Amino acid sequence: MNRITRAMAMASARHPWRTIASWVFALVAVFFLAAVGGGTFVDDFSAPGSQSSRAMDLVNSNFPEAAKGNALVVFEAPDGTTLEEDQADVTAVLEKVAGLEHVASVTDPFQAGTVSDDGRIGYAVLTLDVPEREMGKPAFTTLSEGVTNINAEDVRVELGGDAVFLNAEDSSSGHVGIGLLVALLVLLVVFGTFVAAVLPIGLSLVAVGAGIGGITLMAGFMNVSVSAIPVAGLVGLGVGVDYALFVVARYRENRTAGRDNKAALAAAMGTSGAAVVFAGGTVVLATSALAITGVGVLTSIGLATAMMVFSSVVAAITLLPALLSLLGDRIDKGRIGRHHRPVKAVEDTAWWRFGHRVSARPWPYLLGSVAVLLAIAAPALSMQTAFPAAGDAPEETTHRQAYDLLTDGFGEGINAPLLVVVDLNSGGVDAAGVEDVTDDIASVPGIVSVSDPQTSEDGDTVVFTATPTTGPADPETSATIDQVRDVIPGNVYISGITAVTDDLNAQLSAKLPLFIGAVIAVSFLLLMLVFRSIAVPAKAAVMNLLSIGAAYGVMVAVFQWGWGAAVLGLDGPTPITSIIVVIMFPILFGLSMDYEVFLLSRIREEYDRTGDNTESVARGLAGTGRVVTSAALIMVAVFSSFIFSPVPSLKMLGLGLAVAIFLDATVVRMMLVPATMALLGKANWWLPAWLDRLLPHVAVEDHEQTAPTTSLNGTPSEPSELIAR
């Protein structure tokens, strides 16, 4: 792998302008194709083969009118008055709503009987002229603004419903900008020059831009989640900066050791560049494994993230070498401060001394690290997941306001309607028995009302709604759905937001063991191929699970228990989104492997050269400690920026990723890894001879490019021994 990576990089470096032009052409082409053939983004939460999925398939194919999306225009009269007294204002508002784009029809709440008992709150059902998934977020945003901006003197107007909530726009770009600013400051401290600091951020933005174009193009061929770009972009920015940081740091280290620019670049790409390819490939495989779940929204987010990381890897091994070859000595332009940072031999650094300190007393560091991680992870044992509802949205949003008004006027169940679909072409109840089905459902405890059935034009499908007494995120609603499903015939299916999420969670529970096992198995195999070891990948898997568990524990404490929720801008405890928990696992497992690869590849370089296990661990820490820590700070800064998003699910994702990366780069890499390696000694690198012969050889250490130049006491040895502290 190192030879291939070095060859690709040096080919780009020999023809920098051709490489840059190729990137410009590729960006223009992908954005043009995305503009021409790209699709809109839509969340597909259905679990294939489930009742809710079957119900929606029937509605979409047999009852197109019922398949069209809808929203609720919610009205509230001022205190002391009723909507009937303000009927003229309500009518005027509805006339204006009917003229908005994508509005096919809107009901009259007085004729439909959708006014609360006290007369203060009512709602009109707004039917769209297209199915919800064909509109996209921008159109829903325009519709929401159009409704809420209608001037009504005496009544309050809000727009709600699941479709509005699920397609609401969020504003996270400004928060990401803060994360990138922090990343720039970290890079300035690491490199000490403005040019070297800006280069990784610029490269990351180019890679993310290419990834966004590719994801948009992918949306033209499959359903892609509206969260795909925010999630993939978040990961892409982090890994894009980190991958460039590792390569640039190794390149400048080689130049400091006395190599000319060409040799320094070749050596950097044969070591750190190869590690980037391997680490990025691990993330790509881990996130792509989300397709195993069979859930559309997770599959699209996984593939989008994989595409974004792949773009970052390609940029790091092609565009970055081209830019470095053009910059040459100008990489050190814009120096911050007057003096150069003193260059010290590796044994004079704090990282080298700390590595020996851990190796001298490995058991206290091992047990202490594990105890800390287990203590932080402990709350994860009580994790309860749910699907977010409009009631969890920021208070200032119109769909949250509508949710609260509907709850006040009609009870929580109005926000969790069950869609009942009868397939008259299948065996079971016939048209004459539909009324009996409605009666049976109405008699189920937890159901407050059942609407009149509607039959499709061809007479094959019947739909109606049942309103529960509890809200969409309430476990009692799930229990009610189970009871309803127990009393309906085999050709009757239940859907609705809660039924869909219940079926989704059931499918995830069934698929998670296979999904998690696949991610761990592939990562284990890849690490075994590279490091020719059984112990190294086994330790990596266990350590990654510990850091991921700790991230889940913090999420439970903050969101489920409400510890410090106010600091994050939350009203109190918030349900943990089941999809976020699943998305986090492959991302964190892959990113944790990044730091594992960069640290262990450096340790393996030293071990192959010296055969001294303790010294190779200390030198590996010294060679990567400062850079890995800086890379982790950058990743934490980028991920933490999403904590300030108004969307609770994105807050969870940002906090979980930031905590896991922080723990992984400190407790795990600085203490747990060196402690276990010191205890195992030569067993770290043991691989059965028969397995060694069977497995293909894949290397990320470039022995040809690490010729000795200075020794432990300052005489000729390895260039990696000279690092900036």
Domain ranges, ordered by start, for the chain: 2-36+171-337+347-386+504-724, 64-166, 395-502
Structure confidence at residue 1 (pLDDT): 67
Q: Which letter does DSSP use for residue 290 in this model?
A: G
Calpha distance 98→147 (Å, rounded): 10
Structure confidence at residue 709 (pLDDT): 36
Calpha distance 454→300 (Å, rounded): 34
Please give the CATH topology (third level) of the domain spanning 395-502: Alpha-Beta Plaits (3.30.70)
In the three-class reduction of DSSP (H, G, I as helix; E, B as strand; rest coil), residue 66 is classed as helix
Structure confidence at residue 480 (pLDDT): 96
Name every residue whose Cβ is closer than 8 Å to that of residue 146 and which is 6 or more positions away in sequence: 97, 100, 101
Q: pTM score > 0.85 for this model?
A: yes
CB atoms within 10 A of CB 118: 11
Structure confidence at residue 705 (pLDDT): 47
Structure confidence at residue 638 (pLDDT): 87
Calpha distance 254→623 (Å, rounded): 12
Calpha distance 470→465 (Å, rounded): 15
Side chain identity at 575, as an amino acid letter?
A: P
Structure confidence at residue 134 (pLDDT): 76
Structure confidence at residue 723 (pLDDT): 33
In the three-class reduction of DSSP (H, G, I as helix; E, B as strand; rest coil), residue 385 is classed as strand
Name every residue whose Cβ is closer than 8 Å to that of residue 355 and which is 6 or more positions away in sequence: 617, 618, 619, 620, 621, 622, 674
In the three-class reduction of DSSP (H, G, I as helix; E, B as strand; rest coil), residue 157 is classed as strand
If one looks up domain 64-166 in CATH, what number appears?
A: 3.30.70.1430
Structure confidence at residue 701 (pLDDT): 59
Calpha distance 602→618 (Å, rounded): 10
Q: Which residues of the chain have pLDDT under 50?
A: 704-725
Backbone phi and psi for residue 85, each to the nearest 5 degrees, phi listed first? -70, -25
Structure confidence at residue 215 (pLDDT): 95
